[in-house]
Amino acid sequence: MIINHPKLGPRDAAEFTILGDASMLNRPDWQADNADDEFYTYVYLRDNPAGLHRELWFHEQGDRSWLVVTRDTITHDVVDVSLASNVALAAKSKKVTKTLNTKKTREKLKSKGQNR
C-alpha cells in the first residue's frame, strides 16, 4: 500500500504504523453527565465498515506526523490523506462555531453580558 503523504508525497505504508479508526480524534467531554457512556462508545465500539474507512496512521519512520487516511477496506485503495492536525483543527473550529450558534449558548452568553 502507498500512502500519499500531504507533505512528503507517496510513501510505502511500511514506514507507518496504524492506530485505528479516526473517530478517536473526537474525544468526548469527560465532564458531561453521560461521560461514562460516551467513553465506552469512544474507547470500545467501532463501525468497522467494509468499504471506505477513515483511520489514523503515524509516520513513524518519516516525519512523525499523524495522518487521517481514508482507505477502502475491501480493495486496500487509499483514496484520501490529510494531516490529522488539520482535521482536528477543522473539527474544533466547527464545534466552536456550532456551540456559539446554538440558541442556548447565545442566551447564556447574553445573560452574562458576553454576547459579541
Partner 1 sequence: MIFKSLVNSIIPSDLMSKSSGKLHSSVLQQKKSFSLLQCLQQSNFIVGHVIARVDMRYSIWSLINQALTGNQGWKPAWREPEPKKNYQIIIIGGGGHGLATAFYLASRYGMSNIAVLEKGWIGSGNIGRNTTIIRSNYLLDGNEPFYEESLKLWEGLEQDLNYNAMISQRGIINLYHSDSQRDAYVRRGNAMRLHGADAKLLKLEQLRNMCPFLDFENARFPVMGGLLQARAGTARHDAVAWGYARAADQRGVDIIQNCEVTDFIIKDGACVGVKTSRGTITAGKVGVAVAGSTSRVMAKAGLRLPIESHVLQAFVSEGLKPVIPGVITFGAGHFYISQSDKGGLVFGGNIDGYNSYAQRGNLPVFEDVCQSGMAIMPMIGRARILRNWGGIMDMSMDGSPIIDKTPIDQLFLNAGWCYGGFKATPASGLCFAHLLARDEPHEVAKKLRLDRFRCGAMLDERGAGAQPNLH
Nearer to partner 1, 50 or 113 (CB): 50
Report CA-CA distances (Å) from 2 to 16, 54, 59, 73, 79.
10, 15, 12, 14, 10
Could you say whether residue 26 binds partner 1 (CB under 8 A)?
Answer: no
Ramachandran area for residue 34 (φ above 0: left; ψ -120 to 50: alpha; else beta)? alpha
Residue among 8, 32, 35, 74 that touches partner 1 (CB under 8 A): 74
Sign of CA dihedral 12, 64, 7, 93: positive
Nearer to partner 1, 40 or 94 (CB): 40
Could you say whether residue 111 binds partner 1 (CB under 8 A)?
Answer: no
Could you say whether residue 81 binds partner 1 (CB under 8 A)?
Answer: no
Nearer to partner 1, 65 or 109 (CB): 65
Could you say whether residue 33 binds partner 1 (CB under 8 A)?
Answer: no
Ramachandran area for residue 14 (φ above 0: left; ψ -120 to 50: alpha; else beta)? alpha
Contact 115, 101 (CB under 8 A): no
Closest distance between partner 1 and the C-beta of residue 88, in Å?
20
- Chain residues binding partner 1 by CB under 8 A are 1, 12-14, 17-21, 40-41, 43-50, 53, 55, 71, 73-76
